[in-house]
Amino acid sequence: MTISMYQASIPVLIKALSNLSDILQKAEAHAVAKKIDPAVFVQARLFPDMYPLSRQIQIATDVAKGCGARLAGLEPPSYEDTETSFAELQARIAKTIAFLGTFSAGQIDGSEDNTITLKVGGRPISFQGLPYLFEFVLPNVYFHTTMTYAILRHWGLELGKKDFLGAH
């Protein structure tokens, strides 16, 4: 049996980012209802040495858009990383989902053995396509999405596993 790299990547990443967007909508509604400045949540973190919520979302979207582009043999688009509001973070997520939606199975399938090279921490790292997807991309997107969830949960937002997993 062969794996469809497209089915294992693009729809999965779109779902994770869509769920992240839904969580942010709940966070914004919570901020309004509790009369909390939304910037408190956007800059919130679990511990002082961790990235704030805004950076967690930036990284999740960077990894997701990078995956689609790299598996298709393209250069990933660059985003500015200047988001400071829920609206700007939502726009970034929407832009990433729209970008991922431009890929077809024909562009992604068959990329499991392609060499993918990217810089992590300033140094180049190379993967084959399949390990890149399963050992780097998906864990990173889920990690940063989980950190966003955890930050918001820590700050009192009522979220559950269903919010993270989304509708089935």
Q: What is the pLDDT of residues 1-26, one digit of tens each?
A: 578 999 999 999 999 999 999 999 99
User: What local confidence, expressed as pLDDT, does residue 166 receive?
Assistant: 81
Q: Please state at what angle helix 138-154 crosses helix 53-71, rounded to 10 degrees.
A: 160
DSSP-based three-state secondary structure for 73 = coil
The token pair that represents 84 in the structure block = 């400071």
Q: How many CB atoms lie within 10 A of CB 154?
A: 12
Contact between 9 and 67 (Cβ < 8 Å): yes
pLDDT digits (tens, 9 = 90+) for 32-64: 999 999 999 999 999 999 999 999 999 999 999
At 161, is the pLDDT very low, low, confident or very high (cuts 50, 70, 90)?
confident
Q: Which of 39, 37, 63 is nearest to 52 (CA)?
A: 39
Taking Cα atoms as reference points, which of 2, 114, 120 lies closest to residue 62? 120
**Mean pLDDT within 63-79:** 97
Model confidence at 160, pLDDT cuts 50, 70, 90, reads: confident
Amino acid (1-letter code) at residue 147: M
* Total count of domains within the chain: 1
Nearest to 113 by CA among 5, 12, 1: 5
Between CA 42 and CA 55 the distance in angstroms is 9
Identify the domain containing residue 145 by its residue range. 5-165
Q: How far is Cα 108 from Cα 8, in angstroms, rounded to an integer? A: 10
Q: Which two tokens stand for residue 57?
A: 């979302």
CATH of the domain at 89: 1.20.120.450
End-to-end Cα separation, the chain, in angstroms: 25
Q: How far is CA 40 from the centre of its chain?
A: 21
pLDDT digits (tens, 9 = 90+) for 102-159: 999 999 999 999 999 998 889 999 999 999 999 999 999 999 999 999 999 999 988 8
The pLDDT of residue 57: 98
Question: What pTM was estimated for this model as a whole?
Answer: 0.95
